[in-house]
């Protein structure tokens, strides 16, 4: 981006801005922090809601798999000459293990998200304390 006559626009540093207007840098930093919070907080809240929904569906899936495994085992006991059922029960057990693994991963993600949200809240309180009129 060049200006008229080919001269480059002057570069203004944050130190120049702070020297020109003493309270402006603090307001700019507070606006930046507020912008970041406005950006990340809704995303964190949406992720939290979605993770909870997926965890709930994972628990429902585990319950249904457990019920189906029990039903297949009863069926297998009644029809002992059917070796195919054991293979299906093993497949369902594998599905259950994978669902449990996903559930464990989701729990870890939710814990990280909660820590992130706590950290954001703590930093915001700290920033508000720095920018409050009583600290000036």
pTM of the model: 0.51
Q: Largest Cα–Cα distance in the chain? A: 92
Q: Would you state the pLDDT for residue 132?
A: 62
Q: What is the pLDDT of residues 84-110, one digit of tens each?
A: 777 777 888 888 888 888 888 988 988
């Amino acid at each position: 981006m060049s200006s008229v006559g080919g001269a480059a626009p002057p570069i203004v540093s944050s130190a120049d801005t702070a020297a020109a207007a003493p309270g402006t840098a603090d307001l700019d930093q507070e606006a930046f922090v507020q912008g970041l919070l406005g950006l990340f907080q809704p995303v964190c809240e949406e992720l939290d809601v979605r993770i909870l929904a997926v965890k709930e569906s994972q628990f429902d899936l585990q319950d249904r798999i457990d019920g189906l495994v029990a039903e297949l085992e009863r069926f297998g006991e009644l029809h002992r000459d059917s070796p195919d059922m054991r293979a299906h029960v093993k497949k369902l057990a594998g599905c259950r293990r994978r669902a449990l693994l996903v559930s464990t991963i989701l729990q870890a993600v939710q814990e990280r998200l909660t820590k992130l949200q706590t950290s954001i809240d703590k930093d915001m309180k700290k920033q508000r304390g720095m920018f409050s009129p009583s600290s000036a």
